[in-house]
Amino acid sequence: MTVRTWPRRVAPPGKRAGEAVPRKWIRRLVQRGGREAQKLLPAWLFFYLSFSLLRLTQTAVLQEFGVSSLLPSRVLAGSLIVAKALLTVDSFRVFAPLEQRPVLVTAFCMTFVYALLVFFFQYAEALFELRALGLTEASLEFGRRLASLRFWVIQVWLLILIFAFSATRAFARRLGRHRFRHYFLGR
C-alpha cells in the first residue's frame, strides 16, 4: 500500500517556509468592514436614538397599566436592521434619478420606499417570531397587530423619523460631505 502525500508548498521569495498564507485578504476585509461601519454609523446612531426615545415614551405610558414594551436589545437590533436596510437600498442607486429634483420631492420619495421596506421587515419579523404557528396563522396574527392603535402610532412615528432621515440625507448629498459637516457641526 502506498501512501499519497501532498506536494509541499514552496514559500515565495522573502517569506519563511513556516509562515502562514499572506494576510492580504484579512487586511482587505478589515478595510471594507471599516468603510461599511463608517457608512452605517450615522444612520444607526440616528435610528438607535430615535427608537430609544420611542421606547422610553412607550415604557412611560404603558408602565401605568402594567404592560411591558420593547426590550433594549430589540431596540438595538431593530435600529441596526433598519439602518442597514436603508443603506442597502441606497447602494442600488434607486434614487439617482431624483438627485436633480428638489430636496422635498426626493425626501418624500425616499420616505415612501423606505416605509415600504420597513413594513416588509416588520412583516418578516412577525413571521419569524411566530414561525411555530405556521405561515397562515402567523400572517393572521400580523393582521391582528395591524388593527391595534399602538401599531399605527408607531408607524406614524416611523414615517416622521424616516422623513427626517431622508431629508437630512438628501441635503447632505446635495451640499456635499464637507459642506454639510461644516454647516451642521461647525467643522
pLDDT in tens, 4-61: 666 666 555 555 555 555 678 888 888 888 888 888 888 889 889 988 888 887 787 7
| Confidence (pLDDT) at 5 | 66
Give pLDDT tens digits for 100-144.
Answer: 888 888 889 888 988 888 888 888 888 888 888 888 888 888 898
Please state, in angstroms and rounded to a whole number, the distance separating the CA atoms of residues 144 and 148: 7
Domain ranges of the chain: 31-180
pLDDT at 22: 63
Comparison of pLDDT for 187 and 147, the residue scoring more = 147
Residues whose CB falls within 8 Å of the CB of residue 44, separated by 6 or more in sequence, listed in order: 79, 80, 83, 84
- Closest C-alpha to 154, from 78, 64, 100: 78
Q: Which amino acid is at 42?
A: P
Q: What pLDDT was estimated at residue 7?
A: 63
